[in-house]
Structures are given as C-alpha cells and as structure tokens.
Amino acid sequence: MSENQDGPTRAHTRPDGVGDATVEALGSVSKALETVERARGHLYALHQLTGTADLELGRAVGLLRAAGHEEWAERIDRELVGRNVLEGRWTFQIVEEYNTTFYEPYKALEQQLRDDLVQGRDHLYEAEMKEARRTRGRPGHAARPHGEA
C-alpha cells in the first residue's frame, strides 16, 4: 500500500513479502501480550490494594487500643499486620519475580519476533483490520491523526 494521507503510515504497513499467515500469527502473539499486560496490571492492583489494606489494618489496631481493646489490638498487630501474602513474600516481591521470570522475557521475545519477521512493526493485524473496516472520506474514519506523516 502506498504511503498517502488516506492510508496507514509505513510503520503500520506490512513489509514486502510478508504474507497473511505471518500477519495473523503476529496479531495473535500481540493479543497474547496484551492479555499478559492486563494480568500484570491486576498484579499491581493486588500489590496496591494489599498494601492499602495492611496500612488500614494498622490504623484499626490504633483505634482498637484507643477504645480499650488491647488484647484484640495486640492479636491483630501480631498475626496480621505486615504478614506475608505468600511464603516469605510481600506483594512487591511477587511483582518483581513475575516481572523478572515471566513478563520481561515474554516482552523481549515478542519484540525479537517482530524485529525478525516484520522489521519491528507493531499492530499490523489491527492496522489492516482498521483499513478494511473504516469508511474512507467519512468524518471519524481517518486513517491517521491529522498532520501525521
């Protein structure tokens, strides 16, 4: 496809010689990576929510003490405040291990695949879907943002 203002940019056009099966396979890998990104986001949400809960529990301990419930305050402080969520791990350690063991190698391999097969271009499957589905010349259906070369 030629580079024109009513078509995708070169970065969103498949290189010469790249077939439909390759573009579809890369689209599937991209979709899988997007799912991994979402999972990672949920992991960060777990990390932040668990930390927030722990801090609030610490506040509750102070309130129980102030209300005269020292035994309950001491038990909650001893048994729950600062407790590991997995054996030997707080959530930040889970996030770090996920990133190092799974996420970073996954992302690096996906990038290497795109570099090798399509000159590093991203979202070719989606860009071609956009071209097939948009109505040329209609408001809200431009191929690219105004002024993008």
**Biggest alpha carbon–alpha carbon distance for the chain:** 77
Q: Which amino acid is at 122?
A: D
Q: Give tens-digit pLDDT for 17-60.
A: 999 999 999 999 999 999 999 999 999 999 999 999 999 999 99
CA distance linking residue 33 with residue 104, whole number of Å: 11
Which helix (H) or strand (E) element contains residue 96? helix 91-98
Answer yes or no: are the C-beta atoms of 125 and 27 closer than 8 Å: yes
Q: Is 121 helix (H, G, I), strand (E, B) or coil?
A: coil
pLDDT in tens, 69-100: 999 999 999 999 999 999 999 999 999 999 99
Compute the distance between CA of residue 137 and CA of residue 23 in angstroms, rounded to an integer.
Answer: 26
Say how far apart CA 18 and CA 48 lie, in whole Å: 43
Is pLDDT above 60 for 16? yes
Secondary-structure percent of the chain, ordered helix, strand, coil, rounded to 5:
65, 0, 35
CA 27 to centroid of chain Cα atoms: 16
The DSSP code for 86 is: B
pTM of the model: 0.84
